[in-house]
Amino acid sequence: MTIHLSTAGEGPELDTKDATVTVKAAAEDTGGYELFEVDAPRGPAVPPHADPWAKAFYVLHGRLTVCLDGELHDLGPGACVHIPAGTANTFTVHSPHAKFLVFTPDDAMGRFFREVDATVPSDAPWPEAVPLLGGIVARHGVAFGELVP
């Protein structure tokens, strides 16, 4: 394993339709885990969904509410939340934008983000993006629907 360095402003940027995700450390750089810097605008993100991977959010700046299995958690700078695999989740940004780190123990989320970025045009309106996202979420085991009571 070699040393991997990603300085401020470096890393591939991925468009996930609800945020810009910068890959700070990919699984091939670390031998397993991945680290992303997420810059999300004000407003709701993707609807509630359950991912087959665990993840943790660490807020750098801004305010967001994370909904986990129907429970709301208000997060500001310095706050961290672990989201177990299979947990229904989404978030809403309350400040003009929020920047936070997302840590995942493997490359599953990164593979998903990379496919969304490569498949869905960044300027595609949501009605055009939804059919393209359908196949991607199915291939990666992401579940949408009535997940939150």
pLDDT average, residue stretch 65-92? 96
Q: In the prediction, which pLDDT does 147 show?
A: 46
Q: In the prediction, which pLDDT does 22 show?
A: 97
Fold of 13-142: Jelly Rolls (2.60.120)
For residues 90 and 32, the answer to whether their CB atoms sit within 8 Å is: no
Instruction: Answer with the residue of higher pLDDT: 42 or 46.
Output: 42
CA distance 68 to 78: 19
The overall longest dimension of the chain from CA atoms, in Å, is 46
28 Cβ contact list (under 8 Å, min separation 6): 107
pLDDT of 148 higher than 50: no
pTM assigned to the model? 0.90
pLDDT band at residue 146 under the 50/70/90 scheme: low
Q: Where do the structural domains in the chain lie, given as residue ranges?
A: 13-142
Token reading at 126: 């949501």
* Percentage with pLDDT > 90 across the chain: 72
CA distance 44 to 31: 33
Q: In the prediction, which pLDDT does 54 show?
A: 98
pLDDT average, residue stretch 115-138? 85
pLDDT average, residue stretch 6-33? 92
* Percentage with pLDDT > 70 across the chain: 96
Q: In the prediction, which pLDDT does 131 show?
A: 82
